[in-house]
Amino acid sequence: MGFRTLDQAGDLSGKTALVRVDFNVPTHGGPSSLLVSDDTRLRAALPTIRLLKAKGAKVVLLSHFDRPKGKRVPEMSLRPVVQPLSKLLGEQVLFADDCVGPRAASAVEALAPGQVLLLENLRYHAGEEANDPAFAKALAALGDLYVNDAFSAAHRAHASTEGVARLLPAFAGESMREELSALHRALGSPERPVIGIVGGSKISTKLDLLKHLVTKLDKLAIGGGMANTFLYAQGHDVGASYCEKDLADTAREIIRLAGQNNCKLFLPLDIVVADKLGPGAAARVRELGAVDEEERILDAGPETVERLERAIANSKTLIWNGPLGVFETPPFDKGTVAVAKFAGALAKAGKLVAVAGGGDTVAALNVAGVAQDFTFVSTAGGAFLEWMEGKALPGVAALQVKD
């Protein structure tokens, strides 16, 4: 894979490991009583923390939280993370109310091997997002080695994701290693044929993604609101549907690119429409173009779903970003849920490598109840999307072994 992992770190007894995690977790409650409402990202960091503890290292955790923009904002402190993380680890996690300077240094100095310390919000300092060399140097001075376990922040060239990695021996944490391995298996060196599903509302936000994928995949299915723009570009009436009509030429260009690269493009064969979007709205299946002026396309039709399932069944690898319809509002979740369950069953049976990512996609797989059946589900959001676009991620590049 070309990046260093912790099994290559050697003897870590008594050494201080600076571990970049992503504890930018959802919270609820008032400024003085914030509580973590979803500990998924805390649990994702546990394997790396436990491995470092087992190796006798002192574990110092670095993270951002929210957007304090270089200022100390009390309600954006990482302190509320300490209690739930301590509970998950089964031991007390220590806390320092700064991430650089005397208070951070004395807290690190007092650590015993195997102890865990969480430093205060990196973004309290403007040098973090600016990737300021002096701030990176101040962070690096606290440790002997650097571990990046935050793929979700790897698309940012910040001091804690890129700067420190240039100053200390740098390694991928267990969560990062698992993510990079899964992504390499899905798009870097996949078992073919490879099919992609790209959904969501706007082509404009996924232009780079679509143009890159048609050069990498054997098949690409386009769903959601962006499919409406493709249908419009092909001369089909889309009624009152969301549609970026000014991007019709771009849609036609992507269709041409797919043809030039022998990537078979799957656009809807039939559609589900309604006069309004709302729970339990009267949904009707229509043929392409047979849309009344006031109707909106809100899901993929049954014929489209069946053809997509056949295409997946004849593939070895699936990579998925974005739903096929407005899955948050039943009955317009049917297309997405049906395809998700079909792909999940194949992956669970070992017949398909199925990798998915992006917030809406993860939510859709959870709605379908199949997230655990997929080979890998990334919660990384922007980093996952930029990786799919073929862009270099600074936080990953900094871990790569130099020739």
Do 127 and 105 meet the contact criterion of CB atoms below 8 Å apart? no
Exposure class string for 133-160: b at 16+ Cβ within 10 A, else e: eebbebbbebbebbbbbbbbbbbbbbbb
- In this structure, the chain runs to a length of 403
Residue indicated by tokens 């060399």? 133
CA-closest candidate to residue 138, choices 122, 117, 154: 122
Using CA atoms, how far apart are residues 237 and 303, in angstroms rounded to an integer?
Answer: 19
- Give the torsion through C-alpha atoms of 29, 34, 35, 40, to 10 deg: 110
SS3 (DSSP) at 80 = helix
DSSP string, 223-264: -THHHHHHHHHTT---TTS---GGGHHHHHHHHHHHHHTTPE
Using CA atoms, how far apart are residues 235 and 245, in angstroms rounded to an integer?
Answer: 11
Q: Which residues contact 292 (CB under 8 A, 6 or more apart)?
A: 239, 273
Q: What single letter denotes the amino acid at residue 227? A: A
Angle separating helix axes 174-183 and 40-54, nearest 10 degrees: 110
CA-closest candidate to residue 146, choices 56, 48, 47, 18: 18
SS3 (DSSP) at 36 = strand
Q: What is the Cβ-side half-sphere exposure of residue 390, based on CA atoms within 13 angstroms? A: 12
CA-closest candidate to residue 154, choices 389, 392, 382, 393: 393
Backbone angles phi, psi at 32, to 5 degrees: -95, 0
Using CA atoms, how far apart are residues 297 and 285, in angstroms rounded to an integer?
Answer: 10
Catalytic positions: 41, 202, 359, 382
Q: Which residues contact 370 (CB under 8 A, 6 or more apart)?
A: 340, 341, 343, 344, 345
